[in-house]
Amino acid sequence: MKERYNAPIYTGLTPLMAALLAAVLAPGQSQACGCGCSTFDVRTSSMLPTAEGGVAFLEYNFVNQDRNWSDSSKAPAADNGDKQIKTEFYTVGAQYLFNRSWGVIGELPYEHRTFKTAGNTGEVMSFKKDGFGDLRLKGIYSGFSPDLSSGLTFGLKLPTGDHDQPGFDRDTQIGSGSTDLLLGGFLRGSLPVVNNWNWFLSGQLDQPALTTGGYRPGSEVNGVAGIYYNGLNVGGVKIAPVAQAIGTHHWKDSGSEAHAADSGYDRALLAPGVEFDWGSVSLYADVALPVYQDVNGNQLVANEMCTVRLSYSF
């Protein structure tokens, strides 16, 4: 079976970072994926709102789940009929703060997924699917402090992605088929004494509410803690190194079409990254590396998860 990683959480540094906030609140994207897509829901330092106005962004994520895992260690590949879940996510989105207190976020992923699994005869079969995933719409409240350093996000994940593609299990479809409630929060500040160093915290709950076809994805909580350096400029380009730790708890899936025994997990990741800012344009990249994974049954996991994001603030 698979470890479910869902779509992105947002956190941030500059106006660009405002756009990244949407992601702050899931391994769980909640595009369905009994794998681990959600890790992209917990965004890094480049997505927290810092000023009124908007940010449009294009994000690329890549995850290749090809290692079988059981409990907290690697397990024989023969113990799992599923052999690989490789996914590329292309997400377009925008965030807009109408004033210092209220804003909105929307993001829609387009996914290319390859799923390899053993049939009844033991022969490995390959299935591919391209299509739009589940749309996320969220509101932002950042009126707790004058500098927008704390806030809440709330909204819905809508079942716009395909969840009945032949050859795919329900937990490996690009859509979950569920309408989920999303609730998150963020906080950031400056480290005392040390100049130009800043910290941030963010988290999100993804709670399926309405489901279809005998499959209910497990609820998921994602959190991220990180620091970044904000004092480096080279030739007019601001360079901000980022270090963050990401944690996820995913409850078991349920329903007649779920593989409940092979779902649910705990995971911790370290994700070093960097952001480059040229005025209104920003480029952000990180690589999330698992340092701890504890899964139920047998699930496919990845060696790393990669993110690249280009943003424009207006």
* DSSP β-bridge partners for residue 86: 64, 114
- DSSP letter string, 146-203: TT--EEEEEEEEE--S----TT--GGGSSS-S-EEEEEEEEEEEEPSSSTTEEEEEEE
- DSSP letter string, 260-304: GGG--EEEEEEEEEEEEEETTEEEEEEEEEEEEEEEEEEEEEEEE
Q: 14-57, pLDDT tens digit by residue?
A: 433 433 433 433 333 333 344 445 445 544 445 677 778 999 99
Q: 199-218, pLDDT tens digit by residue?
A: 999 999 999 999 999 999 99
Residue 51 confidence (pLDDT): 78
Of 98, 95, 190, 81, the closest CA to residue 136 belongs to: 95
pTM: 0.87
Structure tokens, 99? 């004033």
Residue 8 confidence (pLDDT): 35
Rounded distance, CA 160 to CA 29, Å?
13
Residue 50 confidence (pLDDT): 74
Residue 276 confidence (pLDDT): 96
Mean pLDDT, residues 307-311: 95
Residue 49 confidence (pLDDT): 73
Rounded distance, CA 112 to CA 89, Å?
7
Neighbours of 227 (CB within 10 A): 16
- Considering just the CA atoms, what is the radius of gyration of the chain in Å? 19
* DSSP β-bridge partners for residue 270: 245, 289
Structure tokens, 109? 């992923």
Rounded distance, CA 127 to CA 106, Å?
29
Task: Provide φ and ψ at 15, rounded to 5°.
Answer: -55, -35
Q: 124-182, pLDDT tens digit by residue?
A: 999 999 999 999 999 999 999 888 899 999 999 999 999 999 999 999 999 999 999 99
Residue carrying structure tokens 């079942």: 159
Rounded distance, CA 242 to CA 240, Å?
6
Strands 265-278 and 102-118: unpaired
Rounded distance, CA 237 to CA 223, Å?
30
Q: 79-129, pLDDT tens digit by residue?
A: 999 999 999 999 999 999 999 999 999 999 999 999 999 988 889 999 999
Q: Sketch the domain layout of the chain as residue ranges.
A: 15-307
Residue 15 confidence (pLDDT): 35
* DSSP β-bridge partners for residue 301: 67
* DSSP β-bridge partners for residue 289: 270
Mean pLDDT of the chain: 87
Is the pLDDT reported for residue 6 higher than 90? no
Residue 47 confidence (pLDDT): 60
- For residue 26, CA distances in Å to 51, 126, 233, 256, 283 come to 24, 28, 31, 25, 21
Mean pLDDT, residues 271-291: 95
Structure tokens, 196? 């130009």
Structure tokens, 172? 């490996």
Of 15, 49, 96, 20, the closest CA to residue 278 belongs to: 15
Q: Which CATH number is 15-307 given?
A: 2.40.128.130
Task: Provide φ and ψ at 228, rounded to 5°.
Answer: -150, 155
